[in-house]
Amino acid sequence: MSSPRRRPRSSAAAPLDDDDLLAEILLRLPPQPSSLPRASAVCKFWRSLASDPGFSRRFRAHHRRNPPLLGCFVHDFCEVRFQPTLEPPNRVPQSRFPFAIAAGDRFHILGCRHGLVLIFHDSQKQLLVWDPFTGDQHRLDIPPGFAVEKTWIGAAVLRAPGDFHHFQVVLVGNSDIQSTQAVASVYSSVTAVWDNLVSTPLPSEDSGFLTMVYTGMPAVMVGGSFYWLLYGNSQEILEFDLDKRSLALIPMPVGNTRDMGEGNIWVMPAEGGGLGFLFLRGFCAQLWKRKTDCKGVSSWVLGRSIDLDKLLSLNSEMEIGYPSILGFAEDNNVVLLWTSVGIFTVQFESLQFKKLFESHDWYRCCPFEGVYTADGGNGGGPSGAKLLYNT
């Protein structure tokens, strides 16, 4: 699509007839799906600018750090569906993001970040990087050195700021040579190759239990590092420093974490920055923070404890089942909680919460954040009109 025709400048030109000034104004519209379709409805000049692919890229780059939570990819053990979470007119149609893998195939969603979805295709032993906005798919073979046949793997996808053409994938797992070694490698779409393996020792295998990546929690990015939970002989946190290309183990702040399958623990940023940890004990949410003293010794400190039944107006005597953590939306800094009355987002620093939708069953739920412009430059086409008039 050609760029909008530049109007001649004159000292008498109205401010909104100056395409440079207008672009700067439209760039600062809220990053909601209906923002650019509404601007496009003003006049042909606005429409030519708002629908230009170059401007759409600038708009998404400008709002990269504050994208809305568009919805969740819900895996109900039979299929994966996109569940919108925004209200009209910003609600993205459920059919807009049909899942990239057919129902019945063996796969795991490893996480979403920067508008990309990372999937492990178990049947083909490949990673799939999927862009739901454009439909682009990139299949990556697992590099040598990972014991994918006997153990689980973890991975994370990310984009560099302002780069919508390239991505990186961080892969972690057990070594296929020594199972008590954690290994990691980074793939770059720029070079289309995996880096050399880095490793760190894991606790020794004991009583037949092997320490490996826990698949119930996708990678969480805090600062320049990724974090995964480990499960098995030892329950710790695996850290991969993206800048240093190094692995390390961090002890968990709570010892009674054997029941990890019920979504009671999650890594997240701490209040005020740094590494944090969320632990649910019944209806009580404990927020922990990793601190380093003047001697360089790190330890966990318990911050706040929050009664979720009071915060969410739940009746702890009548509700069936305790709340469970379903996911964490990094850019919005909100935790997704399952309760017997529905799924909520909770922002623990501000104690703001919102009920997203009803769900009486406990499903895997991956939050999907992104700036959806709903225009021709993003492959959205008619969706822009649907968003605009879906009030």
pLDDT for residue 385: 44
Using pLDDT thresholds of 50, 70 and 90, give the confidence band for residue 380: very low
Q: Are residues 42 and 135 in the same domain?
A: no
Contact present, 253 and 265 (Cβ < 8 Å)? no
> Is 9 among the domain residues?
no
- What letter represents residue 142's amino acid? I
Q: Look at the chain and report how many structural domains it folds into.
A: 2
Q: Is residue 256's pLDDT more than 80? A: no
pLDDT for residue 388: 45
Q: Is residue 359's pLDDT more than 50? A: yes
The model's pLDDT over 310-331, given as tens digits with 9 standing for 90+, comes to: 999 887 766 678 899 999 999 9
CA dist., res. 245 & res. 264, Å (int): 29
Task: Please compute the mean of the pLDDT values over residues 40-56 and round it to a whole number.
Answer: 90
Q: Are residues 103 and 167 in the same domain?
A: yes
Task: Please compute the mean of the pLDDT values over residues 56-63 and round it to a whole number.
Answer: 90
Q: Are residues 157 and 295 in the same domain?
A: yes
Pick 364 or 249 by higher pLDDT.
249
- Chosen domain end from 23, 38, 61: 61
Q: Are residues 215 and 325 in the same domain?
A: yes
Residue 353 domain boundaries: 64-369
> Is 120 among the domain residues?
yes
pLDDT for residue 317: 64
Task: Please compute the mean of the pLDDT values over residues 193-211 and round it to a whole number.
Answer: 86
**Winning range, highest mean pLDDT, from 14-23, 73-82, 251-260, 334-343:** 334-343
Q: Is residue 111's pLDDT more than 70? A: yes
Q: Are residues 35 and 87 in the same domain?
A: no
pLDDT mean across residues, the chain: 86
Q: Are residues 39 and 78 in the same domain?
A: no
In the block, residue with structure tokens 């009664």: 307
Q: Are residues 48 and 93 in the same domain?
A: no
Q: Are residues 48 and 133 in the same domain?
A: no
CA dist., res. 298 & res. 371, Å (int): 37
pLDDT for residue 17: 61
> Is 3 among the domain residues?
no
CA dist., res. 250 & res. 237, Å (int): 5
Q: Are residues 56 and 82 in the same domain?
A: no
> Is 374 among the domain residues?
no
> Is 184 among the domain residues?
yes
Task: Please compute the mean of the pLDDT values over residues 344-366 and round it to a whole number.
Answer: 87
Using pLDDT thresholds of 50, 70 and 90, give the confidence band for residue 106: confident
Q: Are residues 49 and 81 in the same domain?
A: no
Q: Is residue 254's pLDDT more than 90? A: no
Handedness of CA 390, 63, 219, 120 (dihedral sign): positive
Using pLDDT thresholds of 50, 70 and 90, give the confidence band for residue 379: very low
Q: Are residues 57 and 152 in the same domain?
A: no
Task: Please compute the mean of the pLDDT values over residues 63-89 and round it to a whole number.
Answer: 90
Q: Specify burial of residue 319 (Cβ count, 10 A radius: 0-12, 13-18, 19+).
A: middle
pLDDT for residue 315: 78
DSSP for 49-72 reads: HHT-HHHHHHHHHHTTTS--EEEE
CA dist., res. 253 & res. 236, Å (int): 9
- Chosen domain end from 61, 93, 115: 61
Q: Is residue 389's pLDDT more than 90? A: no
Task: Please compute the mean of the pLDDT values over residues 358-370 and round it to a whole number.
Answer: 82
Pick 102 or 145 by higher pLDDT.
145
> Is 381 among the domain residues?
no
Pick 388 or 307 by higher pLDDT.
307
CA dist., res. 110 & res. 118, Å (int): 5
DSSP for 310-375 reads: HHTT--TTT-SS--EEEEEETTTTEEEEEETTEEEEEETTTTEEEEEE--SS--EEEEEE-----S
Q: Are residues 204 and 292 in the same domain?
A: yes
Pick 48 or 7 by higher pLDDT.
48
pLDDT for residue 142: 96
Say which CATH number the domain at 294 has.
Answer: 2.120.10
pLDDT for residue 260: 59
Give me the helices (H) in the chain, please.
Answer: 19-27, 35-40, 44-50, 53-62, 308-311, 383-389
Contact present, 208 and 216 (Cβ < 8 Å)? no
Q: Which two tokens stand for residue 36?
A: 């650019």
The model's pLDDT over 131-144, given as tens digits with 9 standing for 90+, comes to: 999 999 999 999 99
pLDDT for residue 390: 44
CA 333 to chain centre: 10
